[in-house]
Chains A and B, each alone.
Chain A
Amino acid sequence: MMIKYPDVFFSVLARPVIFVLIALGLHLLLRGAKAPGGGFIAGLVVAAAALLSRMAMDRPLLSFNTRLLIPWGLLLAAATGIAPMLLGLPFLKSAFGYQTWPFIGKFPWETALLFDMGVFLVVVGITVTIIDLLAQEAEYELVVMEVESGQEH
């Protein structure tokens, strides 16, 4: 007996939650050096958003092929490692400082943030890919069930 109920409430109310989750994820990523946050946590928050979007609206969070995020993340992390070497500094030497721009005012920048973004991309790449695959698998089960139930009648 296959029960199929459209969770109207859930899918409607999930949109704002997903929006906040993604905003929170990026916020955590960008303030990594100053306050609790960082690539791993931000990546997992975005993964939670992907889970929610899959569950509530049955729609992938990111439309592109998230598998490519993994090598790009690694490349970014490696680049921040190798770039200082080209300037004669040892591997993974990081630099930091403060910038003041007209509208934004004084804000700190650090190259470690780029490395953190690399970590973020890898974590997001892996979790979202797995979630999408599991969802496809579930969707696929349904197709199989329908075909089998179709054959019964």
Chain B
Amino acid sequence: MIVNIALACLALAITVAVYRVLKGPSWGDRIMAFDFLTVNLAVLVVVLAVRTEITVLLDVALLVSILGFLSTVALARYLLRGRVFK
């Protein structure tokens, strides 16, 4: 029962994230929303893992969080310096 509440909150958070990505007045908002989305996705995957008891999903969650972080950092750095490496 409680898991469904968590799922509902996550669903709301993700819809807000999508809204921010679409509307986001400035590109900063869009990147923040993108990061928000990926983090939420990781949590959502963990909650789904709890509900469906497939422990393999945890790897997916770990990778979602790390790669989400990686993409956000790359986006942030691209904005700051116009290039990703160096």
Contact = CB atoms under 8 A, between A and B. Distances in A.
A54 B74 CA distance: 11
A82 to B, nearest CB: 34
A10 interface: yes
Contact of B59 (A28, A139, A142): A28
Interface residues of B, number: 17
Given A135-B85, A141-B83, A55 B62 contact: no
A138 B84 CA distance: 8
Contacts, number: 43
Contact of A24 (B56, B62, B74): B62
Interface string B52-86: 00001001001100110110011001001101111
A86 interface: no
Interface residues of A, number: 25
Q: Is the interface of A mostly helix, strand, loop or mixed?
A: helix
Contacts of A138: 83-86
Contacts of A75: none
B66 A17 contact: yes
Contacts of B80: 3, 5
B85 A24 contact: no
Q: Is the interface of B mostly helix, strand, loop or mixed?
A: helix
The winner among B59, B73, B77, B85 for most chain A CB atoms within 10 A is B85
Given A3-B80, A20-B66, A141-B83, 8 more contacts: A10-B73, A17-B66, A48-B70, A55-B74, A55-B85, A58-B86, A138-B83, A138-B84
Q: What are the nearest 8 A-B pairs in CB distance?
A: A135-B85, A138-B85, A138-B86, A138-B83, A54-B85, A139-B86, A36-B56, A35-B56
Interface of B: 56, 59, 62-63, 66-67, 69-70, 73-74, 77, 80-81, 83-86
Interface of A: 3-5, 7, 10, 17, 20-21, 24, 28, 35-36, 45, 48, 51-52, 54-55, 58, 134-135, 138-139, 141-142
